[in-house]
Structure 1
Amino acid sequence: MGTSRIGRGVHKILLSFWSGILLVFLLGVAGPAEAAANIVNPDQVYSYTIMQRDIERLVKAYPDLVSMESLGQSPYGRQLWAVKLGRGESVLFLNGSHHAREWMTTTVLMKMIDTYAQAYANNTAIAGYNVRQLLDEVSIWLVPMVNPDGVTLAQQGTAGLPAALAQTLRRYNGNSTNFTRWKANMQGVDLNRQYPANWNTIRNAGSYPWYQNYKGQRPAQAPEVKTMMDFTYRIDPEVTISYHSSGEIIFWHFNTLGSNLSRDRTMARALGSLTGYSLVAPENNPSGGGYKDWFIQEFGRPGFTIEIAQYAGETSVPLSQFASIWKNNRTVGLYSAGQSYSLWMKKQKVQYLQQSMDLLAGTQLYSRIGASASGINLLPQRLHVIAKKGDWYQVQVSEGVGWIHPASGKLAVVEEVMATAELKVSSPAYKYPDRYAPKVTNLEPQTVQVTGRWGNWLLASTPSGSWWIDGRMAELIWPVKQTEQDTATEPGQAVPSEPEVSGQIVPESVSTP
């Protein structure tokens, strides 16, 4: 369903300099991937500018775990940033700040990224959730601020805007200069009344541009909403959560099919238990137009709207409430990631591979998919892979036939090579090709023998053993073939090289949506 609409209206703008930043970062790293100190400070009015700065810092701190991309621009030129956290094939999607005065939802989502990334890097659990395993299985996509124009207006008022625009916005605001109550985008359209789900019968909708509740002239009229719809089709999430901030309640039902009712109610009750929020009872003729409504209607999958705070009226939630809000929502992303993975796995079909692959680190062998105990520990070896289902692999080994669920970098098809690599700087060496693998040592600048390659990674032979290094930190040098030496008969004639493969390995893109 999603592939036919990929890119429709969504112009993905990757920052071209991120590859360079990543390389500079790697060249300066003396040790393994480690958690940075807290990056997101929630004890402030969290603006678009602060969010953008923090996203960039998170990407720099966790380049193999966090990436960013622009989905396009808002009507007034601000980027709609999407952040990807995790490395799994299944997808969970979280978004916030559809409504301008509800900008604290952005803070919650940014705090999630920061907290989960730290736990992943340190390999620590959060409230019993194995963060590293979850983020190896699931990619959490987040659009922390759907409405950056409206948020900026609600926080800063009309300061710095052209006089004519400021006058128009004051008129949309009932001639009031109090923009803290502003809910719409800067065109006076309520973005959460814009989705094509019972749009014609939305209740309590204004009929002209206003600071709140105007549903527009047609569904998906607002560029921000069109962008959100196109992005959702592209990433094809199993579960979505749209964060709002009024009432400590959870909306979970929108004309939900009877076959999905038990599934969605079970998830809603679990979210209610985690947060302490009440579930909103289903309605026979619900007023629609919201992101959650559209997602349930279009995809038939679990979608939720979580209202994080006590009713604040026509203003933003006080900063003093953030600590309790964060306590209530700290594990929402982790629980929902687990549910997303389970739903994704149920849809996967078995693919028969019948190929040899290299197991590069110890991994448990199980009798069935989904098992988490009573496995047999497999040592690194070349094994025969029979089939794949999702991110599980059926293998034939001396112990018999079973299933493995290898973490990133543990299972690969390693290309055997005979070359050398010149390390220009001190480079960390790992047990297997992943920056979150156990680090063995630091290799000082030197020339090492290379016997294997997988992607950007090189298997380097050292006096202490063979370890993996990031090839972006080395210059790979291929040996000159004997036949090429024979052709160099003239004095001073240069020996041809292998232009197709010689030289420094080019880093892959940072963002992998």
Structure 2
Amino acid sequence: MIIRLNKSISLTDLSTHLQLDSQLLHESNDVELRGEIEANTQLNIPVNCLSIVENSDIVELVGDDIIKSELKMKKPYDSNELEKDIEKLIVMYPFIKKDIVGYSVLGKPIYQLTIGNGPKKIHMNGSFHANEWITTSVMMYWLHEYVDALGNGSTRINGHDVQSIYKDTTLSFVPMVNPDGVDLVLNGLPHDNTYEAGLLQMNDLSIDFSQWKANIRGIDLNNQYPVNWDIEKARKIPKTPAPRDYPGDAPLTEPEAIALSNLVKKQHFDRVLAFHTQGEEIYWGYLRKEPEEAEAIVREFERLSGYKAVRDIDSHAGFRDWFVHDYRKPGYTIELGNGVNPLPFDQFDEIYKKSKGIFYAGLYM
């Protein structure tokens, strides 16, 4: 059961009000509970407290319809907002499995949500690049639509049987690979001042980080993979950490890139989809290492979205490049939207409308 605090209250007083041991409150919530808890905080509590919290001036019940409306919102996500929504999702939809696949440089969790229990294993990720944070917003909207259909027992969505998709497919969903970078773009300099001087120096002493693409150490996470990495290293213009494009001093030095590499090695995905911005293109080939079925899948993506399928581009050391090269399985980089990064949030509706077919085709193909 979800409750929302009507006013700020100490943990001790809340425990007394709920007639619930504070340790049980801790165990029922992934957030750290200590000292005073702020008003409007939402908590998950055991259902046996239902009669206590009704008609209370301290807490109120939050119904399923309220949580659903809060989840299915078109909004920018920083790492904190994402974490709050994930907690609501796993309460609303117990069939979603949440785990942490790694941590960022600043120690922020990189979450994976797993939906389905089928033999076909599909991985999707977003926000590899900090200024492409809108990918997380679009992905979370897709996800909510999908799990809501599953939870409501719907049979079809976007023309396909969602229950069959759930039975046939296991979806690995990592909506924010680069939480430090996204937070830097959306919120500015981190409270941890360890990196403040270096960030300002890399950013020409500007506190406007809206164009920042890299992780917090100035490494481009999508230039970190061990497939012709030396080619990218040699030709990239930044030779030291920078807001964008610097591939690092060696492959897989950054914890965020390592986390995704380890995830692939552990879970043996049948295909991967990495969502970026911008250009309305789908990159799907790499040095002719892609399998034959990769083309049939990308043609379906192309048909549903109107995006252009591009087989060959002069680029190396990316997550998708590495996956296709090393595993000989289909991998796709999907460039959502058009314009200049970061794309304005008022593009959300158009991006969502064009790209949601790719999400579902990524599952049923």
TM-score of Structure 1 vs Structure 2, range by shorter chain: 0.7 to 0.9
Q: Residue 234 of structure 1 corresponds to which residue in structure 2?
A: 266
Structure 2 counterpart of 1:257, which letter? K
- Structure 2, gaps ≥5 residues long: 1-25, 31-42, 51-63
Measure, in 1, the Cα distance between the counterparts of 2:139 and 2:177: 12
2:350 to 324, 327, 338: 324
User: Partner letter of residue 336 of structure 1?
Assistant: G
Distance 1:178 1:338 in 2: 41
2: CA distance, partners of 1:166 / 1:321: 31
Asked if the contact 1:250/1:268 (under 8 Å) is kept, the reply is: yes
Alignment of 1:277-296 (within 5 A): 277-283=307-313, 286-296=314-324
Indicate conservation of the 8 Å contact 1:85/1:113, yes or no. no
Query: Is 1:147 matched with 2:147?
Result: no
Task: Give CA deviations for 1:221-249 in whole Å, capped at 9, x if unaligned.
Answer: 11111111001111111111000011111
Report SS of the residue matched to 2:150.
Answer: helix
**Deviations, residues 315-371 of structure 1 (Å, cap 9, x unaligned):** 4111110011111122322211122xxxxxxxxxxxxxxxxxxxxxxxxxxxxxxxx
Alpha-carbon offset, residue 197 of structure 1: 1.2
User: Counterpart of 2:68 in 1: which secondary structure?
Assistant: coil
Per-residue CA deviation, residues 259-299 of structure 1 (Å, 9 max, x unaligned), is x2x4212211111111111122425xx32111110110111
Task: Report the AA paired with residue 250 of structure 1.
Answer: I
The alignment partner of 1:331 has SS state of helix
Which residue identity is paired with 1:252?
A: W
- Aligned residue number for residue 3 of structure 2: none
Partner of 1:69: 99
Of 128, 142, 152, the match for 1:112: 142
Query: Conserved in 2, the CA contact under 8 Å of 1:131 and 1:334?
Result: no
* CA distance 1:166–1:269, change in 2 (3 Å): same
The residue identity in structure 2 corresponding to 1:72 is G
Q: How many angstroms apart in 2 are the aligned matches of 1:96 and 1:234?
A: 19
Number of matched residues? 311
Correspondence for 1:189:
219
CA-to-aligned-CA distance 1:80-132 (integer Å, 9 cap, x gap): 11111223232110000000000011112211221101111223221211111
Pairs within 5 Å for 1:32-431: 37-63=68-94, 65-124=95-154, 125-158=156-189, 160-162=191-193, 165-202=195-232, 203-257=235-289, 260=291, 262-283=292-313, 286-312=314-340, 315-339=341-365
Aligned-partner SS, 2:210: helix
Deviation at 1:205, TM superposition (A): 4.8
Distance 1:263 1:145 in 2: 28
Structure 2 CA distance for partners of 1:61 and 1:26, relative to 1, 3 Å: farther
Identity, % of aligned positions: 29
Say whether the 8 Å CA contact 1:192–1:290 is kept in structure 2: yes
Report what 1:415 is aligned to.
none
Q: 2: distance between equivalents of 1:236 and 1:287?
A: 24
Match of 2:7 in 1: none
CA distance in 2, matches of 1:159, 1:293: 32
In 1, Cα distance between the equivalents of 2:46 and 2:77?
29
Q: In 2, Cα distance between the equivalents of 1:250 and 1:108?
A: 16
Query: Which amino acid in the other structure matches residue 254 of structure 2?
Result: A
8 Å Cα contact 2:103-2:259 kept in structure 1: no
For the residues of structure 2 that align with 1:89 and 1:17, how far apart are their CA atoms? Answer: 32
Cα distance, 1:159 vs structure 2: 5.5
Q: 1:274 to 1:26 in 2, by over 3 A?
A: farther
Return the alpha-carbon distance in structure 2 between the equivalents of residues 62 and 27 of structure 1: 21
Q: How far did 1:18 drift?
A: 7.2
Give the letter aligned to residue 45 of structure 1.
P
User: Which amino acid in structure 2 is aligned with residue 160 of structure 1?
Assistant: H
CA shift, 1:17, in A, is 4.9
Secondary structure (helix, strand or coil) at the match of 1:114 reads: helix
- Point out the structure with the larger helix share: 2
Partners of 1:324 and 1:123 in 2: CA distance: 28
Query: Residue 126 of structure 2 contacts residue 135 of structure 2 at CA under 8 Å; is this kept in 1?
Result: yes
Q: Structure 2: how far apart are the matches of 1:311 and 1:26?
A: 52
After TM superposition, the score normalised by the length of structure 2 is 0.79
Classify the secondary structure of the residue corresponding to 1:305. Answer: strand
Could you tell me how far 1:256 is from its partner in structure 2? 2.5
Gaps of 5+ in 1: 1-14, 29-33, 340-513
Q: 2: distance between equivalents of 1:26 and 1:274?
A: 47
- For residues 418-453 of structure 1, the C-alpha deviation after alignment (integer angstroms, 9 at most, x for no partner) is xxxxxxxxxxxxxxxxxxxxxxxxxxxxxxxxxxxx
Distance 1:41 1:123 in 2: 18
Structure-2 change in CA distance of 1:320 and 1:303 (3 Å): same
Could you tell me whether the CA contact under 8 Å between 2:229 and 2:317 is conserved in 1?
yes
SS of alignment partner, residue 83 of structure 1: strand
**TM-score scaled by length of structure 1:** 0.57
Change (3 A) 1:143 1:58: same
Cα distance in structure 1, aligned partners of 2:169 and 2:285? 24
Q: Is the Cα–Cα contact under 8 Å of residues 28 and 46 in structure 2 kept in the other structure? A: no
Distance 1:257 1:71, change over 3 A: closer
Deviation, structure 1 residue 25: 5.9
SS in 2 for 1:37: helix
